[in-house]
Amino acid sequence: MFATTPVLQVSSEFGSQYPCFSTRIGYRDRRGTLCPGETGFILESVPAEEWTTAERVHRYLGRADEFPRRAEGESGLLEHVPRDALRILDLGTGDGRLLALLQIDRREMLGVGLDFSELMLTAARERFADEERVELVEHDLAEPLPALGRFDAVVSSMAIHHLEHERKRSLYGEVFDLLKPGGVFANFEHVASPTHRLHLAFFAAIGEPLEDEDPSDRLLDVESQLGWLRALGFDDVDCYWKWLEMALLVGVKPAEAG
């Protein structure tokens, strides 16, 4: 279950209640590098399957609309997606909340939502039960994106940070290829803090105990991700909004790009 440096026998205290990575043992710095915690040991976990469990999904959905500053960050995302965008892809759509927000001012849009969690997709199907302009696709973002056609915008909210860094980077490249010239990529994301103290401050601000940190998080700093987007050819790349570990990263595919 764990890859450790050095090798360490995990006690039952953690093995039973916290079967995956806990930042009481170690934490990730601003570039996603694992750093030792108070014990001096580092634990790395295999990505968890918590998003396939009903308890985890229902807990998340019950709080999704109340998460501190989320509405503010997502409002910024909505502002960067053109009102006339016709085809919009949502990566890690969950229960479809972001697609539903986009629909408010884009009644003619055709939405495509990807998610690997059948429980999340079930909730999304219920949300869009009478909606023919939304297509939901079961897909794990850890794998290359399927052939879906071209899009005027690709969006994501609190999903891509679960991927390993190399996959994040390759996914951004796939997004660039899927966008039409002039298309927008807007990623509202959970990012790494520059220091462990600020990481602790984030959890205090959202009212969550540190031991409840999502074991599947693979947080990365803003600067690294902006650099990737620029290197891939995106224009107007910037962090357009940020609060502690929540950030809105945006890039536009050049109009002359194929």
Residue with tokens 């940070």: 161
Is the torsion defined by CA of 140, 141, 146, 148 positive or negative? positive
Q: What is the pLDDT of residue 257?
A: 73
Count CB neighbours of 129 within 10 A: 7
Residue 103: which H helix or E strand, with range?
helix 97-103
Report residue 34 CA to chain centroid gap. Answer: 19
Beta bridge partners of 249: 187, 239
Angle at 134 between CA 133 and CA 136, to 5 degrees: 155
Tokens standing for 78?
A: 């909505």
Q: What is the pLDDT of residue 18?
A: 25
Tokens standing for 4?
A: 């450790």
Radius of gyration for the alpha carbons in the chain, expressed in angstroms and rounded: 18
Measuring CA to CA, which residue among 185, 194, 258 is closest to residue 226?
A: 185
Cis peptide before 194 (omega within 30 of 0): no
pTM of full prediction above 0.85: no
Q: Which residues of 136-162 are buried (b: 16+ CB within 10 A; e: fewer)?
A: beebebeeebeeeeebbbbbbbbbbbb
Burial zone of 68 (CB within 10 Å; 0-12 exposed, 13-18 middle, 19+ buried): middle
Beta bridge partners of 188: 157, 248
Q: What is the pLDDT of residue 67?
A: 65
d(CA 89, CA 110): 9
Q: What is the pLDDT of residue 70?
A: 80
Measuring CA to CA, which residue among 165, 193, 162 is closest to residue 91?
A: 162
CA distances (Å), 114 to each of 47, 107, 125, in order? 19, 20, 12
Q: What is the pLDDT of residue 15?
A: 27
**Domain at 50-252, CATH from 3.30.1330.10, 3.40.640.10, 3.40.50.150, 3.10.50.40:** 3.40.50.150
Residue with tokens 């850890």: 142
Measuring CA to CA, which residue among 12, 117, 125, 123 is closest to residue 61?
A: 123
Q: Domain segments of the chain: what residues?
A: 2-45, 50-252
Helix axes 165-178, 222-232, angle to 10 degrees: 40
pLDDT in tens, the chain (258 residues): 223 222 222 222 222 222 233 333 344 444 444 444 433 333 333 344 554 555 554 455 555 556 677 888 899 999 999 999 999 999 999 899 999 999 999 999 999 999 998 988 999 999 999 889 999 999 999 999 999 999 999 999 999 999 999 999 999 999 999 999 999 999 999 999 999 999 999 999 988 888 888 888 999 999 999 999 999 999 999 999 999 999 999 999 999 876
